[in-house]
Amino acid sequence: MTRNVTALIFDFDGTLTPLTIDFSSLRSEVESLAGKYAVEDVIKDLAHLYTVEMIYELERFLGEAGGEFRRMAFERMAELETEASRGKELYPYAREVLKDLKDRGFKIAIITRNCIGALKNVFPDMDEYVDSVVTRDDVARVKPHPEHVAAVLAALNATPDETVLVGDHPTDIAAGLAIGTQTIGVLTGRTQHADFQKAGAHYIADDIRDVKRFL
């Protein structure tokens, strides 16, 4: 990398730990909840959005009832995410990589669209390895919206030009590019090499153990 890197931001699911959540089932649960507000046609119109973004849009559409719907939707999501995280572990090399990077003086953070309860189940000792964790509960808009990354940068007291964002999904790459970080796509999720190229990732790695090659 040509930039002086001082901070690294890691996605969680698919990057530090295997993907286990059934996203289709989770979305169905949220859509079922939304159906109680009689917005079936609107739900269909939002089919192109990720589930979290769909919740945001439905909140706006529902007006006064939107806040209640958003609260209930995120509570149900958190229940399902926490349930899926039970018995789950980090990738066996994850702690070693994070410790090595931290020992070398890098500031380390986790950015995730997941809830904090799921992270604590999988990574109960994360405070020993990372300096900051920013979940969807901490921001009004999640990645790929740059607001999410901006919140992490603020917590780390880091600037985009000295930061690398590492993730397993094109939304991670989009989030980093939107705010000006370097980006690394890792192939431990469900995204293929060509898809990371299409997304504009600066670098592509097999897993986070390869990240050190680019620093």
- What percentage of the chain exceeds 90 in pLDDT? 85
User: Which tokens go with 70?
Assistant: 């958003």
Q: What are the tens digits of pLDDT across the range 65-101?
A: 899 999 999 999 999 999 989 889 999 999 999 999 9
Contact partners, residue 7, CB within 8 Å, separation at least 6: 106, 107, 108, 109, 153, 156, 158, 162, 163, 164
- pLDDT at position 2 over 80: no
Q: What is the mean pLDDT of residues 178-198?
A: 97
* C-alpha–C-alpha distance, residues 116 and 129, integer Å: 16
Alpha helices in 39-132 (DSSP H): 40-45, 51-62, 66-85, 94-103, 116-122
Q: What is the mean pLDDT of residues 49-61?
A: 93
Kindly report the number of other CB atoms within 10 A of residue 90's CB atom: 18
pLDDT tier at 1, thresholds 50, 70, 90: low
pLDDT at 61: 92
Pair 133, 96: CB distance under 8 Å: no
> Domains in the chain, start-ordered, CATH in brackets?
7-19+89-214 (3.40.50.1000), 23-85 (no CATH)
Cis peptide before 146 (omega within 30 of 0): no
- pLDDT at position 191 over 80: yes
- pLDDT at position 39 over 80: no
